[in-house]
Structure 1
């Protein structure tokens, strides 16, 4: 069995670059087209494996070329994919992304098989949590499946990590099952119902994070981009600073952070040091283009540290 179980989404990202997006009824020429492997679940599983973790992925794809490509990408870094099953008659999840020359983008996400990963399907995967040290979740699969997975992980003694993205409100039932919650600023603002932004002080961020501990969250690891991260628990507050790099592409940086953090924890690294490891990994990733292609190896992260 694997040390880390990742339950989450697998998406094919279809990216079209244009000078400007078309208006209704208009056709415009595109500059380039590319297909990338994505989905927050797959990205985090890929990252955790690149950072030295033993990882099993749980999710659903359609029986199509996109699904096969996603599985091949995960297998290339050693992720066990027996828990990723094909659902007949449903397409693999896709994100259609139009990127304008100025950087603005328009995204349409079709959940496809990700949306079909229901609690009944989850029952088939319960055995994957047995013997695992950690279980990592996001919010691109149905919420009832995420909550069910958190419950299964807790019952089997796994440390639970939840990346509450894409941002949505969560009830006490879900939050009480989380050992490490890893929101960015906008997600922290929504969950804590507080006004937060890039100019928010560390004290304001800490206060928002502490409010979530009252719902049963074990620790909050707030991801602050180039400002690093803040680890908040009932025992105290620890600040982690990011390494200064020339940013090229921030796509997938949060997923890289989560995968790296899980990989470090699975090796017995203390939470604060694991957060530092994750910050270094994310800093390296933003200095490169792409999502999964930008994720560094464990050797690169340790060398950078």
Structure 2
């Protein structure tokens, strides 16, 4: 079985700087790169690099940037058969600034991502019969995401919602999610709880359960994460690394979660695996180029003395 991802496909314009400019201020940066990105494409690439079959349903413009993004996905082993070429919008773009602490700010211009419509989802799902997991985020239209989740449930697929970015979240999507993986900002946006420690993370997970989602992973960045399953929770400690680029870390994490669930692992084991993948990602530059392969994950674990069931099974 394979994984289907519905989501955004963007060109990332990435600028590195020592410090962010203040409002109205001009500063000189250190470097600039033009990279493949978009939360949907990042997550699909994560799945492919972790040696799992994956299809993406998304949209790019009928332009050179769209050509390059499709080529990049194909090179990484992602099936691009269901990517729409929009004649109405240009390819989506994210303008990203990363400072010396590896934190980032983003300005996303959705472009062709807004042209991924419910009709496109329905046509694609008519031809998808070999996926057991759907992975979605919120950088394409809400109706499109919800329709994909509805059709996935009808086909008996497990639905994972990475409710990002916070600005795009709709509470209605929670109705069709089997698992959600929000970070601090997304949790606060959805339910008004500021997750600062294990206690507040558990409270947030219980609040999500009251809203109908009994399985969640509440991410706390460098403070680790809390896995919640129908009233029971477990804390996953962070892995200390020297960060270079946090862009795409959550997407690498989500892709790893999808791989584990597709392979039959429980949510705790999935989170342990994703924790390792996400930690390794932040040590590398690029939302997709920095996503580690399964071999790189094995090497990282051997170096750090890390283990999890998912990795033991792939040795």
Give the stretch that moved more between structures: 264-273 or 141-150. 264-273
1:256 matched to 2:255? The reply is: no
Cα deviation 1:157-212 (Å, max 9, x = unaligned): 000000000014533x3212100100001111221222x14xx2211110111111
Which residue does the alignment assign to 2:56?
Answer: 57
Q: Give TM-score, length-normalised by structure 2.
A: 0.87
How far apart are the structure 2 equivalents of 1:248 and 1:102?
Answer: 8
Moved over 6 A (4+): 26-29, 100-105
Deviation, 1:10, is 0.2
Q: Describe the shift of the 1:28–1:117 C-alpha distance in structure 2 as closer, same or farther (beyond 3 A).
A: same
**Which residue is 2:312 aligned to?**
none
Q: Deviations over 1:257-276 (max 9, x none)?
A: 00111112212222211110
Hey, what's the Cα distance between the residues in 1 that align with 2:125 and 2:138? 19
Alignment of 1:187-202 (within 5 A): 187-194=186-193, 196-197=194-195, 200-202=196-198
**Which stretch shifts more, 86-95 or 101-110?**
101-110
- Which segment is superposed worse, 179-188 or 244-253? 244-253
User: What is residue 47 of structure 2 aligned with on the other side?
Assistant: 48
Q: For the Cα contact (< 8 Å) 2:134–2:152, is it kept in 1?
A: yes
Instruction: State the alpha-carbon separation in 2 of the partners of residues 30 and 67 from structure 1.
Output: 27
Measure the CA separation in 2 of the matches of 1:203 and 1:22.
35
- Residue 68 of structure 1 and its aligned partner are, at CA, apart by 1.3
Aligned length: 299
Deviation at 1:103, TM superposition (A): 7.1
Task: Describe the superposition over 1:125-154 as per-residue Cα deviations: whole angstroms up to 9, x where unpaired.
Answer: 122442311000000000111011100100
Residue aligned with 2:268, SS: helix
**CA distances 1:209-267 after superposition (whole Å, capped 9, x unpaired):** 11111221130111122222211121411221222212222111111100111112212
The 3 A distance-change label for structure 1 pair 244 and 186 is same
Structure 1 runs not aligned, ≥5 long: none
Deviation at 1:23, TM superposition (A): 7.2
Structure 2: segments with no counterpart, 5+ residues: 302-306, 308-315
| 1:224 counterpart = 2:220 | yes
Say what the alpha-carbon RMSD is for the aligned residues.
Answer: 2.3
